[in-house]
Amino acid sequence: MSTEFQRIPVILHAEAPSAVVETYGFAGSQGTVLEGQVLRPAAEASTLFVFMHPTSTLQLMPMPEAMAARGHHVLCAASRYPKNDAALIMEKVLLDLGSWVRWAREAAGYEKVVLVGWSGGGSLSLYYQAEAEDPSVTHTPAGDPVDVAGAGLSPADAVIFIAAHLSRAETLTEWMDPSVTDESDPDRRDLELDIYAPDAPHTPPFDAAFVTRFREAQRARNERITTWALGELERLRAVGGAEIERPFIVHRTMCDVRWIDPAVDPNDRRPDWTYLGDPRTANVGPVGLARFTTLRSWLSQWSLSRSRARGALNAARITRTPVLQIENSADDAVPATHNQVVREALGTGDATYHLVKGATHYYKGQPEHLNECLDVVESWCRERGLLPRRR
């Protein structure tokens, strides 16, 4: 049975001084402006389900809408970097999520708050909850002060990790094209590692030795960019003056042996396809991960060695909160190995795992799989007193 619901806009505003303007336009110069949307049925509720992604806005996603249609109160919360992650700092996104949780409890009057981390929101939710339980962060990976530890983040009552990857840094690394030899010229490539080249010497099915070499080269490329970014920041600081940040382009970041060889880390995903379409086209397109970024943002969200938002690292720090983990077996965005890593790392004694067989990343055209997911969420929440039991 479907329930009608309202879409209620919510805007939070706080002064948050920054050395550079991080988002374009009027809002970017007005401190921190956070825009959200509450999907609210007519019936009262004591629990709010909070969806947040570091940069996406989620109010049109299928799961928040479907939850509201089942009578649940849902908040789709945006960070200060909506739809543009070029200058995004993950530690500041934690503060934004903390503002939303505080609003939910203190202004909106909800007794319980459940974080629902979908896709990139999964590692964000783990990072937030880890810092709420065990505050530690006082600086960004670039060394800039950011008092997450002193912000008094309010822990969520539960975390739902759904269709989610380990982190932006780990996912990007596994998708970086390791054939790129010159970051300023994407046409200069190592043919031995160029799996998309018409004359590629290595083609599916890939042998294990090549996959190992490919992964090592991906990690090496990520670390080369990290080393360069750190050096550029140090140079700019030494020079002084008005230039304190620098944007740059990262070419060819949608390249993974998994996508063209379904035998690598197998699941039920569609072969030769990604959530952005043809992997060869997506690799050189304008919307790949980390395509446009800055020195500080690279270190915070994309650097494998420097980012603190890594999934297993933070999953292990969550020891007092129930966590529900839902994996979609045909996910065409989340690497098939990531959920197992999170599952094994979780420090909580109340961890539940469920696999939705055949479900893709967005449940597009799959209402039966979406309903299975919602049934699991509702049952799990009722067992923990987060929703009233059915009469």
- Tens-digit pLDDT profile for residues 67-107: 999 999 999 999 999 999 999 999 999 999 999 999 999 99
Q: Using alpha carbons, select from 242, 243, 241, 228 the residue that is nearest to residue 298.
A: 228
The reported pLDDT for the residue numbered 174 is 97
CA atoms of 376 and 331, how far apart (whole Å): 18
Q: Is the pLDDT of residue 255 over 70?
A: yes
Q: Read off the pLDDT band of 345 (50, 70, 90).
A: very high
| CB contact at 8 A, 119 and 88 | no
The reported pLDDT for the residue numbered 23 is 78
User: What HEC string does 32-44 produce?
Assistant: EEEEEEEEEECCC
Q: Using alpha carbons, select from 34, 46, 150 the residue that is nearest to residue 97.
A: 34
The reported pLDDT for the residue numbered 2 is 79
Q: Is the pLDDT of residue 234 over 80?
A: yes
Q: Which residue has the higher pLDDT, 18 or 206?
A: 206
- State how far the alpha carbon of 369 is from the alpha carbons of 1, 280, 340, 361, in Å: 16, 29, 21, 11
Q: Is the pLDDT of residue 31 over 80?
A: no
In the chain, the domains with their CATH numbers are 5-167+307-383 (3.40.50.1820), 171-302 (no CATH)
CA atoms of 172 and 167, how far apart (whole Å): 8
CA atoms of 340 and 343, how far apart (whole Å): 5
The reported pLDDT for the residue numbered 60 is 87
pLDDT digits 0-9 by tens, 101-132: 999 999 999 999 999 999 999 999 999 999 99
- Under DSSP, the state recorded for 191 is G
| CB contact at 8 A, 141 and 303 | yes
The whole-number average pLDDT for the span 254-274 is 94
The reported pLDDT for the residue numbered 32 is 85
Q: Read off the pLDDT band of 28 (50, 70, 90).
A: low
- State how far the alpha carbon of 133 is from the alpha carbons of 83, 190, 315, 347, in Å: 29, 45, 11, 12
Q: 263-274: buried (b, 16+ CB within 10 Å) or exposed (e) per residue?
A: ebbebebeeeeb
Whole-prediction pTM:
0.96
Q: Read off the pLDDT band of 172 (50, 70, 90).
A: very high
CA contacts within 13 A on the Cβ side of 274: 22
Judge if the upstream peptide bond of residue 205 is cis by omega within 30 degrees of 0.
Answer: yes
Q: Is the pLDDT of residue 20 over 90?
A: no
Q: Is the pLDDT of residue 391 over 60?
A: no
Mean per-residue pLDDT of the chain: 95
The reported pLDDT for the residue numbered 202 is 97
- Structure tokens that stand for 322 in this block: 């129930």
Q: Read off the pLDDT band of 277 (50, 70, 90).
A: very high
% of residues, the chain, pLDDT over 90: 90
CA atoms of 128 and 122, how far apart (whole Å): 10
CA atoms of 391 and 373, how far apart (whole Å): 21
CA atoms of 67 and 69, how far apart (whole Å): 5
Task: Give the residue ranges of DSSP H helices in the chain.
Answer: 62-69, 90-102, 120-133, 168-175, 208-239, 257-260, 279-284, 295-297, 311-315, 338-345, 367-383
